[in-house]
Amino acid sequence: MPPLSPAEPLADVLPERRPQHIAVIMDGNGRWARRQGLPRIEGHRRGVASVRRIVEEATRLGLRQLTLYCLSSENWKRPARELSFLMHLLEQYMIEERQTLLRQNVCVAIIGRRDGIPADTLREIDKTIQLSAANSGTRLCLAINYGGRGEIVDAVRRIAAEVRNGTLAPEAIVESTIADRLYTAGMPDPDLLIRTAGEMRVSNFLLWQISYAELWVTNRCWPEFREEDLHAAIRDFAGRDRRFGGLSGS
């Protein structure tokens, strides 16, 4: 990340102490709406505004990657009307924010299974991915119809097929063999995992990739999440002693 000017809220946080990849479980849209006396779908609409703010701030800070948990594989249990609205919001975001993302040099990617996502929504997602593929700024990775266990299952299936075909020996399987067959192949693991709405669980999100991520939880629901909350998470991360199994200061 580039150094910030003295007027910036993170000016005193050294670039090497800041996370390069932040993943976010965007929770609490429905609870926020209920507290405001609004329908759940209004919470999702306001959640998109938070996405817009945080993506813009991530690019301004020079974050290498921002991964957002948009729709889990378990979310298909929700009412059909709510799911349809979520797909509409996603499609609308891809259309309305496309030029802004391109102007900000953002590279868009998605992880998750494509089945179940409407064709019109996929078309707009794929268009944005294609147009932004050569961008060299922040990678915005959207987890859609995503589940960490399902991702590992898909990776194991790929490995099993390669073993069966004779292109991979079982004794040659190491951690990188699995990592290279996950949806996130080629992406860095998250340094920091943020969860909103005060929930103390990872909800089947990036189970392999967050092995050494720092966790930061806020009671704010996602529609309430602001740039200063992101700054607070980064500042807290910078003050932690990350040992990766070693001794402090080693």
Helix (H, G, I), strand (E, B) or coil at 16: helix
Mean local confidence (pLDDT), 187-194: 98
How does pLDDT run across 89-126, given as a tens digit for each residue?
999 999 999 999 999 999 999 999 999 999 999 999 99
pLDDT for residue 14: 94
Beta-sheet strands, E only, within the chain: 21-25, 65-72, 107-111, 139-146, 192-195, 214-217
Name the CATH superfamily housing domain 17-147+189-237.
Decaprenyl diphosphate synthase-like (3.40.1180.10)
Q: What is the pLDDT of residues 118-162, one digit of tens each?
A: 999 999 999 999 999 999 999 999 999 999 999 999 999 999 999
pLDDT average, residue stretch 168-188: 98
Summarize pLDDT for 208-243 with one digit per residue, the tens.
Answer: 999 999 999 999 999 999 999 999 999 999 999 887
Whether the Cβ atoms of residue 40 and residue 46 lie closer than 8 Å to each other: no
**pLDDT given for residue 250 in this prediction:** 46
Which pLDDT belongs to residue 51? 97
Q: Averaged over 183-194, what is the pLDDT?
A: 98
Q: According to the model, what pLDDT value does residue 33 have?
A: 96
Separation between Cα atoms, residue 68 and residue 70, nearest integer Å: 6
| Burial class (CB within 10 angstroms; exposed 0-12, middle 13-18, buried 19+) of 239 | exposed
Question: Which residues partner with 217 through β-bridges?
Answer: 195
Residue 244 pLDDT: 65
Does residue 75 have an active-site annotation?
yes
Q: In what order do the strands lie in the sheet with 21-25?
A: 107-111, 139-146, 65-72, 21-25, 192-195, 214-217
By CB atoms closer than 10 A (0-12, 13-18, 19+), residue 133 is exposed
What Rg do the C-alpha atoms of the chain give, in angstroms? 19
pLDDT at 249 over 70: no
Note whether 219 and 242 are within 8 A (CB).
no
Indicate the average pLDDT of the chain. 94
Average of pLDDT values for 196-205?
Answer: 97
Q: Domain spans of the chain?
A: 17-147+189-237
Residue among 27, 29, 145, 191 flagged as catalytic: 27
Q: Which of 75, 126, 204, 229 is catalytic?
A: 75
Q: How confident is the model at residue 74 (pLDDT cuts 50, 70, 90)?
A: confident
Active site residue 27: yes
**Chain mean position to CA 33:** 22
Percent of the chain residues past pLDDT 90, beyond the cut: 88
Query: Which residues touch 118 (CB under 8 Å, ≥6 apart)?
Result: 87, 91
